[in-house]
Structure 1
Amino acid sequence: MSNSDIKQRSPKNKTLRLSEEERVLYKSKLVYAGSQTLSLETLKNKTLCADLFGVLDALPPFCADLLIIDPPYNLDKNFHGFKFSKSGDEAYSEYVYSWFPRLLRVLKPNGSVYICGDWKSSFCLYEIMKKHTVVRSRITWQREKGRGARANWKNACEDIWFGTIGDDYYFDADAVKQKRRVLAPYRENGAPKDWQETENGNFRLTSAGNFWDDISVPYWSMSENTDHPTQKPEKLIAKLILASCPEDGLVFDPFLGSGTTSVTAKKLGRNFIGIEMNEEYCCWAEKRLKSAETDKTIQGYADGVFWERNTSTFQQKRK
């Protein structure tokens, strides 16, 4: 489906579009299953257009420092022609079990894995993670998007489970510190204590916790936005990459979607491999990767720190 088939856009709408000429160009940059051997040399910094189940056992082993998994949640969802149907908890667990243990073989012995889910699927993911990894934490992030609910609480959060292959793993806590506004500044001997006074306000650097309330889901006025129905924000993925993948390391995403993991990895100086079965989504990813060659910005991340939501004014003044 072409972008022109969807709807007319406002001139201010920054949602990604593809012309037919661009679609032909970006298809030529994809790696297709069956066209060549799926070696690390073939796949590094590429988008593999394939069904994961068809290539799973042919993927290069022990190549990735970080595995980021954002599978279809246990919901009825139409991914532009590729439909995923909701099932019972047991059936969904069997679906994840059918690929998760086999997928771990792409990780290095000191590698890390993050897997995303909503509240309905989260407990299934934990049970699978604890059988095959050392579970380190559960991250909950606030989506700040979605319709209200009249007979239930609005679903406004999602989970990300963090695990490692063993006890020797990479984690850079300093790389994911957050810049927070200080509302009640405390002084010691007249000087700021653990915070910085600036002309744009008072701020302190804090260590990252496992509840994230600073994430903005992509929308029409953001340049990273696409028509993918479950697109993850670059800022969200940037935290995972900076914490758990060293510079020049490799990030692997087997459910790439519109390319957020690969694009963010490229912006942050990491290598990547992405797998996506929807050819149109693969082309969206390639266009975003092309843009990332000249635009390294990540909304909400600047000066080596993550800024609170709605502090972009301060962020822009510092540039």
Structure 2
Amino acid sequence: MSVPLHAPFRYSKVDVGDVVLNCAVGGEGPPVLLHGYPQTHLIWHHVAPLLATDHTVVLADLRGYGDSGKPAGGPAAYAKRVMALDQVRLMGALGFDAFDVVGHDRGGRVAHRMALDHPAAVTRLAVLDIVPTRHAYATADAAFGQGYYHWFFLTAGGGIPEKLIGGDPEFWIRARMTTRHHGGTAFDPAAMAEYVRCFSDPAAISASCDDYRAAATIDLDHDEASFGRPVECPVLALWGGQSFVGRTYDVLDVWRSYAADLRGEALPADHYLPEEAPERTAAALREFLG
């Protein structure tokens, strides 16, 4: 492939208040919002064209990532509640008051908060290769610390992660991705080059650290306050059979405490389901989204 995405996708920049979001929109039909981390909206470059045959697909870079704005303001600017509101405003600006949401990794955490804070807007929720942030921290042990060491490294103060990652951002991106890939479809070199380009911006490195700092503080407070109020819409959980999530948790059992209407399955992949197992991911999503 070559990037950016081609027809039927069209690119635009949308001002949603205190940040401008980069997004690509393609297809016709019931809208689906896709967004993810640790790369950009291009993590969906295999899956999005398959869904666009019968859905309107909106691929957005989260604030702080890709070619979206990267506001200063510390962790408060990257609380999932703030990032969720960005996406709801984006969809409203595009003419959609209600929509399905699919999110991978950090995007899945934003999507989870969208469903909690905006239940009238989110009609279906799919989360890829995550368990809720609250559960992950509450059950963290030595294996979690080793497998998800970046959750702690990125929250360090004093500019430490920013300085160390900034010394060789390409190494960081490639190392993070290749060590969490297990067979299947290889990463596209052009997409990888885009991930490196975007993450080489010091503002993106700083924003990603603040994203994780928010997850360990502000987001936990919000998640604790929401616990006991499960997501109302249907929820699909997909995870990699070879991923840390798949090897560590009974994923559906965990999500049952957070979702009233739940289904899900493991796919033959590690962490990056949309890139490692795109056909299986697209098929599962199409079945769920209808």
TM-score w.r.t. length of structure 1: 0.29
TM-score w.r.t. length of structure 2: 0.32
Larger Rg: 1
Specify which structure has the higher proportion of strand. 1
Specify which structure has the higher proportion of helix. 2
